[in-house]
Amino acid sequence: MDFLAGEMLLFDKPLNWTSFDVVRKIRFLLKHHLGVKKIKVGHAGTLDPLASGLVIVCTGKATKRIDEYQGMVKEYVADIRFGATTPTYDLESEPDELFPYNQITEEKLAEAMNQFTGEIDQTPPIFSAIKVQGKKAYDLARKGETVELKSRRITIYEMKVTAFNMPVITVKVKCSKGTYIRSLAFDMGKALNSGAHLAGLRRTRIGEYSVDDATTVMEFEKLF
């Protein structure tokens, strides 16, 4: 493989790593292996530290295609826990409010999910990397400052329940660039007169690329 000329690599990001952790490790390995001081390495779409799964990493001139990969349809498998909300909309923070969830049936869930299929307006979580007046929203939120984010138009192409074990359900979601699955979980809780947060997330596809074809960072390191 010609990493300097440009390669596109598929990685299965582990839990508790940031997407940039993957990029930083791959850049270090390539610089050491190739004996160069500098090499372009970038990822095509952030995954939260508490999410695992497919991350596309580009090297060299292939980094010019990052926008193309970012625009592809994403597929996720998400665990959504009803009965509680958290400030970050996931397990990164403790529950801040509890709600009943016994009223949620498979039928009511199916009805609510119809609201979130197709083109919808979604408000990102305030604990996100979106810039507000030049500063990241999560930095402002952690300081206790009021953060207001504008909703954005996204598309949920498909959402299917694969497991219903209340208070946790598992859904497979196909969606457009810019979709926050954490926000989807939070909004579904509200729609069902309960609260909800993301309890687990794995990205399984980006466009035609599958996590089944990805390698781990540790496996990649062994190549050298």
CA-to-CA separations, 25 to 8, 30, 43, in angstroms, rounded: 15, 9, 12
Q: What angle do helix axes 181-191 and 106-113 make, rounded to 10 degrees?
A: 120
Q: Are 160 and 70 in contact (CB under 8 A)?
A: no
The beta-strand segments (E) located in the chain are 8-13, 41-43, 51-59, 74-82, 84-85, 97-98, 118-122, 131-132, 135-136, 152-165, 168-175, 196-206, 209-210
Contact status, residue 18 vs residue 49, Cβ threshold 8 Å: yes
pLDDT value for 133: 66
CA separation for the pair 204, 165 (Å, rounded): 22
Domains of the chain: residue spans and CATH? 8-71+208-222 (3.30.2350.10), 74-205 (3.30.2350.10)
Q: What type of residue is 176?
A: S
pLDDT in the model for residue 50: 93
Residue-level pLDDT at 123 = 87
pLDDT for residue 142? 74
Kindly report the backbone phi and psi dihedral angles of residue 21, in degrees, each rounded to the nearest multiple of 5, phi listed first. -60, -40
Tokens standing for residue 90: 């996931």
pLDDT tens digits, 178-207: 999 999 999 999 999 999 999 999 999 999
Residues of the chain with pLDDT under 50: none
Please report the pLDDT score of residue 124 as a whole number. Answer: 86
Question: So what's the pLDDT on residue 136?
Answer: 73
Write out the catalytic residue numbers.
Answer: 48
Q: What local confidence, expressed as pLDDT, does residue 150 receive?
A: 83
| Other residues' Cβ atoms within 10 Å of the Cβ of residue 119 | 10
Please report the pLDDT score of residue 47 as a whole number.
92
Residue of 140, 112, 114, 107 lying closest to 126 (CA atoms) = 140
| Confidence (pLDDT) at 131 | 73
Which of helix, strand or coil describes residue 129? coil
Over the Cα atoms of the chain, what is R_g? 19
